[in-house]
């Protein structure tokens, strides 16, 4: 019954509700509803109030409304419990959820499929997956809502494999009934989310076929999740095909495709997609878009573009957004401007664990281990608990700077003080730290003592350390493991060959050369990037394709005269052994990073900083040459290789020749 309520009576209703420990700030829509419909002795009015508050995000107030209703001795009906239980889910209030479950039992509504589905969802969100499954198994006739709630629960709790098995069970049950149950888009989003976490060949393609068969392939939510699932399974082409097939792309569609490109290091493609988003005109970009573009800038080292996006972030008022702020820290760090990253970090009003971790990682990759640890200590002091990723960043910082005592301490402390179980990545940092500081046997025994199976990163770190310290015995053991774990990687064969050469074992060098040929292995081409006036220039070894190649080689020839005058002697260690000395020296001269540095010096203002990105580890000879060039041309040259950052200035490098 609709009963108009005057403002005076509305105030009395509010006062009465306050007596029952319920308070709320009523928005204009809810006030209008109060004015027209609310009757405090009518259960339907309370149901509407509980539902409206829950829909508006006021979950605590929704629960207080339910409590006030019960204190008035009003009997709830089957429509009362779903919204109440969903409010418990939203605030992860397991205690209130159990109480609502108990009352649903008392009033005989537990078997109602909306109530049971809400309970499954509540228990899943509160981390009580076993309780959710018990409820699900007890439902006499499951609806698609029940199936969806349980599948979603598995996905939310990291059990994607179980989610897919449950979906398979649903299909079997449907087949046995010989009746197609209506499968909605919400269910398919959950199933596709599970697919993205179980990257098995053919699974996602099979689900995609099911989606098309059921006519859900034009639902925007399903299309967006399908796009993301293909990308997470490494199927970039399929992801792009799904994106191209979306007729009415929304912000999620555009943002997802931009993020996919950015996360896979395809920065040109990310910016092109962003341009398409702007040209579309119907969709406005948001904080997530800018965060993804910042990630693309970080991958490509596009500092100028990153600064433009940072300016846009400030203009649009997104600088208080913690996700965007963290992306800005990451962008500046990976573009070689760690001091700008720290400035952005200091300016953040709200910092979460990812923000602190990004700053620690930024200092670490630049070899500023003491500064990284200083930020880490501040993080602990202000009460932010470090997580799994934080400790990877801390240990990596120790490894880059050779801080053995600190690395050992925090590796042990992470479990005993912070209850973070060490993973393969943490062991990888420690093996790298121990190996490069000469503790090869300790590094080897650490690998052998792991409960998890060591990956190629650990054995690769040990092999690289064996090259530094000329340990042939452990090198052969490491290489043997690597040949099984990553047999197509040519770099391991070359590294072992160089170790044999250092030891004068030329027959073994020849064996490695033959093995590489027989297996058809090819070393991945090294390339270097340099950004100039907003454009990224790419150089390969011996590159003759660049429009200014003649000018670059002429300048390099002039530099080499000055280098020799400064006492430079070529380091041949990184050149293949089966070429003569003159050819080795010529090969060294045209390494991609040397070409990029020469181009940067020629085309930038005197005194300006030059930024280079190398996809592989910078070789010893290039490292020596760039140090000398920085002194000859009086420039700071920043090189980001696959391991870390090198800041060259006045003939020195911040890595201290330790990388």
Instruction: Note the pLDDT tens digit of each residue in 234-286.
Output: 888 999 999 999 999 999 999 999 999 998 888 889 999 999 999 988 888 89
Q: What is the biggest distance separating any 2 CA atoms in the chain, rounded to whole angstroms?
A: 99
Residues 398 and 433: beta-carbon distance below 8 Å: yes
Range(s) of the domain holding residue 503: 424-519
User: What is the Cα–Cα distance from 171 to 96, expressed in whole angstroms?
Assistant: 34
User: What is the Cα–Cα distance from 461 to 431, expressed in whole angstroms?
Assistant: 7
Minimal CA–CA distance to 68: which of 52, 49, 87?
A: 49
Q: 7-25 b/e with 16+ CB inside 10 Å = b?
A: eeeeeebeeebeebebebe
Contacts of 470 (CB under 8 A, 6+ apart): 499, 502, 503
The CATH number of the domain holding residue 512 is 1.25.40
Residues 532 and 595 in one domain: yes
Residues 108 and 44 in one domain: yes
Residues 561 and 466 in one domain: no
Q: What is the pLDDT of residues 165-188, one digit of tens each?
A: 999 988 888 777 776 667 788 889
Q: Is the pLDDT of residue 645 over 50?
A: yes
659 band by pLDDT with thresholds 50, 70 and 90: confident
User: Is 159 within a domain?
Assistant: no
Looking at the chain, the number of H-run helices and the number of E-run strands are 34, 6
Domain's final residue, options 141, 164, 187: 141
Residues 532 and 498 in one domain: no
Here the tokens at position 583 are 């050819």
Question: What is the average pLDDT score of the chain?
Answer: 86
Residues 615 and 488 in one domain: no
Q: What is the phi/psi pair of residue 118, to 5°? A: -65, -40
Residues 7 and 130 in one domain: yes
Identify the pLDDT of residue 475.
96
User: Is 1 within a domain?
Assistant: yes
- Angle at which helices 160-177 and 185-197 pack, to 10 degrees? 140
Residues 515 and 642 in one domain: no
User: Is 53 within a domain?
Assistant: yes
Residues 121 and 4 in one domain: yes
425 band by pLDDT with thresholds 50, 70 and 90: very high
Identify the pLDDT of residue 435.
95
Here the tokens at position 309 are 């996006």
Identify the pLDDT of residue 337.
94
Here the tokens at position 445 are 């025994």
Give bridge partners of residue 649 from the DSSP assignment. Answer: 652
Q: Is the pLDDT of residue 633 over 80?
A: yes
| Top-confidence residue, 3 or 317 | 317
Identify the pLDDT of residue 28.
53
Domain's final residue, options 141, 173, 203: 141
Q: What is the pLDDT of residues 513-557, one digit of tens each?
A: 999 999 888 888 889 999 887 788 999 988 888 999 999 999 999
User: Is 386 within a domain?
Assistant: no
User: Is 540 within a domain?
Assistant: yes
Q: What is the pLDDT of residues 385-417, one digit of tens each?
A: 999 999 999 999 999 999 999 999 999 999 999
Arithmetic mean of pLDDT, 10-25: 38
Residues 125 and 59 in one domain: yes
Residues 473 and 582 in one domain: no
User: Is 370 within a domain?
Assistant: no
For residue 647, give the 3-state DSSP assignment. strand
Identify the pLDDT of residue 15.
35
Does residue 286 come out as left (phi exceeding 0), alpha (psi in the -120 to 50 range) or beta?
beta
Residues 509 and 542 in one domain: no
Domain's final residue, options 121, 141, 161: 141
Contacts of 273 (CB under 8 A, 6+ apart): 254, 257, 258, 261
- Specify the range with the lowest mean pLDDT, choosing from 106-120, 247-261, 332-346, 418-432: 106-120
Residues 135 and 1 in one domain: yes
| CA distances for 382 relative to 156, 357, 379, 386, 578, angstroms | 30, 14, 6, 11, 58
Q: What percent of the chain has pLDDT over 90?
A: 53
Minimal CA–CA distance to 262: which of 303, 227, 297, 231?
A: 297
CB atoms within 10 A of CB 656: 10
User: Is 325 within a domain?
Assistant: no
Identify the pLDDT of residue 408.
96
Number of domains in the chain: 3
Q: What percent of the chain has pLDDT over 70?
A: 90
Q: What is the pLDDT of residues 101-147, one digit of tens each?
A: 988 888 888 778 788 888 998 999 898 999 999 989 888 888 888 88
pTM above 0.75, yes or no: yes
User: Is 544 within a domain?
Assistant: yes
Contacts of 337 (CB under 8 A, 6+ apart): 303
User: What is the Cα–Cα distance from 78 to 481, expressed in whole angstroms?
Assistant: 62
96 band by pLDDT with thresholds 50, 70 and 90: confident
55 band by pLDDT with thresholds 50, 70 and 90: confident
């Amino acid at each position: 019954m609709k009963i108009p309520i005057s403002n005076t009576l509305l105030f009395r209703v509010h006062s009465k509700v306050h007596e029952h420990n319920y308070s709320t700030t009523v928005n204009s829509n809810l006030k209008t509803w109060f004015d027209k419909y609310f009757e405090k002795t009518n259960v339907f009015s309370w149901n509407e109030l509980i539902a409206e508050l829950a829909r508006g995000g006021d979950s605590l107030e929704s629960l207080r409304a339910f409590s006030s209703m019960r204190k008035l001795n009003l009997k709830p009906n089957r429509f009362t419990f779903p919204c109440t239980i969903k409010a418990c889910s939203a605030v992860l209030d397991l205690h209130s959820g159990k109480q609502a479950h108990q009352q649903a039992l008392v009033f005989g509504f537990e078997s109602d499929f909306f109530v049971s589905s809400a309970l499954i969802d509540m228990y899943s969100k509160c981390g009580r997956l076993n309780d959710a499954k018990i409820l699900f198994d007890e439902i006499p006739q499951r609806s698609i809502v029940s199936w969806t709630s349980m599948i979603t629960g598995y996905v939310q709790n990291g059990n994607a494999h179980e989610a897919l098995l449950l979906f398979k069970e649903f299909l079997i049950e449907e087949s046995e009934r010989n009746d197609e149950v209506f499968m909605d888009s919400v269910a398919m989003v959950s199933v596709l989310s599970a697919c993205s976490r179980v990257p098995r060949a053919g699974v996602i393609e099979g689900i995609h076929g099911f989606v098309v068969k059921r006519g859900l392939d034009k639902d925007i939510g399903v299309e967006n999740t399908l796009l993301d699932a293909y990308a997470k399974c490494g199927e970039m082409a399929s992801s792009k095909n799904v994106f191209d097939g979306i007729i009415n792309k929304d912000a999620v569609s555009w943002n997802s495709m931009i993020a996919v490109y950015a996360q896979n290091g395809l920065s040109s493609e990310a910016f092109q997609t962003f341009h398409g988003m702007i040209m579309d005109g119907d969709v406005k970009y948001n904080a997530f878009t800018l965060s993804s573009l910042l990630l693309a800038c970080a991958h490509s080292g596009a500092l100028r573009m990153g600064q433009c996006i940072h300016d846009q972030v400030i203009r649009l008022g997104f600088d208080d957004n913690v996700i965007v702020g963290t992306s800005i820290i990451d962008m500046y760090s990976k573009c070689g401007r760690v001091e700008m990253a720290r400035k952005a970090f200091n300016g953040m009003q709200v910092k979460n664990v990812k923000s602190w971790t990004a700053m620690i990682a930024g200092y670490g990759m630049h070899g500023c281990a003491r500064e990284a640890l200083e930020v880490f200590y501040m993080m602990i002091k202000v009460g932010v608990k470090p997580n799994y990723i934080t400790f990877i960043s801390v240990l990596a910082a120790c490894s880059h700077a050779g801080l053995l005592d600190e690395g050992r301490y925090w590796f042990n402390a992470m479990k005993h003080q912070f209850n973070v179980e060490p993973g393969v990545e943490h062991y990888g940092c420690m093996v790298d730290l121990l190996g490069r500081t000469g503790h090869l046997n300790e590094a080897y025994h650490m690998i052998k003592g792991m409960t998890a199976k060591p990956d190629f990163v650990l054995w690769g770190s040990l092999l690289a350390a064996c090259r530094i310290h000329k340990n042939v015995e452990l090198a052969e053991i490491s290489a043997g493991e690597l040949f099984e774990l990553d047999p197509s990687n040519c770099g391991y064969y070359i590294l072992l060959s160089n170790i044999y050469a250092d030891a004068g074992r030329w027959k073994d060098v020849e064996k490695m050369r033959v093995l590489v040929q027989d297996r058809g292995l090819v070393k991945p081409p090294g390339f270097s990037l340099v950004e100039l006036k907003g454009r990224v220039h790419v150089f390969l070894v011996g590159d003759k394709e660049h429009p200014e190649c003649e000018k670059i080689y002429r300048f390099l020839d002039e530099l080499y005269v000055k280098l020799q005058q400064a006492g430079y002697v070529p380091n041949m260690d990184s050149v293949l052994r089966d070429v003569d000395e003159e050819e080795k020296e010529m090969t060294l001269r045209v390494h991609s990073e040397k070409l990029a540095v020469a181009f940067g010096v020629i085309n930038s203002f005197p005194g300006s900083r030059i930024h280079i990105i190398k996809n592989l580890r910078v070789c010893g000879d290039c490292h020596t040459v760039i140090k000398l060039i920085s002194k000859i041309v009086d420039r700071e040259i920043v090189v980001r290789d696959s391991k870390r950052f090198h800041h060259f200035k006045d003939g020195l490098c911040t890595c201290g020749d330790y990388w």
